[in-house]
Amino acid sequence: MTNVISFQGEPGAYSHQACVEMYPDMVALPCPTFESAVAAVKEGRAELAMLPVENSTYGRVADIHHLLPETGLHIIGEHFVRVHINLLAVPGTKLGQVKQAMSHTVLLGQCRAFLKKHGIAPKTGVDTAGSAQMVAEAGDPSVAALASELAGEIYGLDVLARHVEDHHNNTTRFLVMAPVPEYPELGSGDVMTTLVFQVRNIPAALYKAMGGFATNGVNMLKLESYMLGGSFRATQFYADIEGHPEDPAVQRALEELAYFTSALDILGVYPMHEFRKSV
């Protein structure tokens, strides 16, 4: 199906917000899991998928780096959402009436100062938008939700307090996934390349593999490792670098990397988001 973008979560989730901000003309399709959001694209029910990969406060999204290489999809873009957390309640509620605030456990941990100041107890919900939906359905003014303003609009809730998060630079990075790659033309602007690789089982393999990026002046913005198949010996690395694979310097760095790896896969080449240039 064309003009549909899938995301994990309920309507009003921050992933939904990412879809609306980046693709306002597309229909957003909510899915219960990351796997089902990917499946919607592979089965033709969606054209793209929006997947969160990391948060500036809490680090990488659990299991997402395991999922990315297995999807068969390609990264064609990135988007950054400033995670503003809002206290939402049924219409007519006053802040003093709220005794509990419901949200995903991660979001609750980002609002400790606000909750303590107002004597509001945290209450764990399945997710942010789902908590807003439950608060709207229950109609109890003593229980509010912590979620996006978009969730408040969707479920008819009042915003009692805006931007109550403890860390005011809290941002989540999303990747846009598509069935076929869409490499930008060489020289068309700032470009990101994302890849995964496994190093050969030889001494100092990772050190030697990384040397090609240093000697060729290629900026590596991210490097993370994670185990494969439950083995302490099988490690895969995820990397984000600046530059296009056809850039001579990047090309040389990747050739050197390939020499020291047993597996190497480019997950996507895509335009660098403007957010990176502003921070």
Q: Which CATH number does the domain housing residue 248 bear?
A: 3.30.70.260
- 165/111 Cα distance (integer angstroms): 5
Residue bearing tokens 């002046």: 217
- Flag whether pLDDT at 99 surpasses 90: yes
Q: Are residues 236 and 274 in the same domain?
A: yes
Q: Are residues 8 and 61 in the same domain?
A: yes
Q: How far is CA 244 from CA 64, 253, 256, in A?
A: 24, 11, 16
DSSP 107: H
Confidence of residue 279 (pLDDT cuts 50, 70, 90): low
Confidence of residue 227 (pLDDT cuts 50, 70, 90): confident
Q: Are residues 91 and 77 in the same domain?
A: no
Q: Which residues are catalytic?
A: 172, 174
- Please report the pLDDT score of residue 106 as a whole number: 83
More confident of the two residues 43 and 61: 43
Helical segments of the chain, H only: 14-22, 34-42, 64-67, 105-108, 112-117, 128-138, 149-155, 205-215, 248-259, 274-278
Q: Are residues 105 and 152 in the same domain?
A: yes
Compute the CA torsion angle 171, 275, 153, 87 (nearest 10 deg): 30
Number of structural domains in the chain:
3
Average pLDDT over residues 207-234: 83
Query: Which tokens sit at 37?
Result: 């959001």
More confident of the two residues 246 and 202: 246
Q: Are residues 204 and 265 in the same domain?
A: yes
Residue 132 maps to a domain: yes
- Please report the pLDDT score of residue 188 as a whole number: 82
- Please report the pLDDT score of residue 264 as a whole number: 93
Q: Are residues 23 and 139 in the same domain?
A: no
Q: Are residues 201 and 104 in the same domain?
A: no
Residue 186 maps to a domain: no
Residue 216 maps to a domain: yes
Q: Are residues 147 and 202 in the same domain?
A: no
- Please report the pLDDT score of residue 180 as a whole number: 96
Contact present, 101 and 115 (Cβ < 8 Å): yes
Neighbours of 64 (CB within 10 A): 16
Residue 183 maps to a domain: no
Query: Which tokens sit at 75?
Result: 């990264």
**pTM here?**
0.89
Residue 221 maps to a domain: yes
Query: Which tokens sit at 143?
Result: 């229980």
Q: How far is CA 155 from CA 40, 93, 134, in A?
A: 25, 15, 9
Query: Which pLDDT tens digit goes with each residue over 7-59?
Result: 999 999 999 999 999 999 999 999 999 999 999 999 999 999 999 998 887 77
Owning domain of residue 215:
191-278
- 123/145 Cα distance (integer angstroms): 9
Q: Are residues 27 and 153 in the same domain?
A: no
Q: Are residues 174 and 59 in the same domain?
A: yes
Q: Angle at which helices 248-259 and 205-215 pack, to 10 degrees? A: 170
- Flag whether pLDDT at 1 surpasses 70: no
- 155/146 Cα distance (integer angstroms): 13
- Please report the pLDDT score of residue 234 as a whole number: 58
Neighbours of 156 (CB within 10 A): 11
- Please report the pLDDT score of residue 229 as a whole number: 65
Residue 59 maps to a domain: yes
CATH number of the domain that 58 lies in? 3.40.190.10
Query: Which pLDDT tens digit goes with each residue over 115-160?
Result: 999 999 999 998 899 999 999 999 999 999 999 999 999 999 999 9
Q: Are residues 78 and 101 in the same domain?
A: no
- Flag whether pLDDT at 204 surpasses 90: no
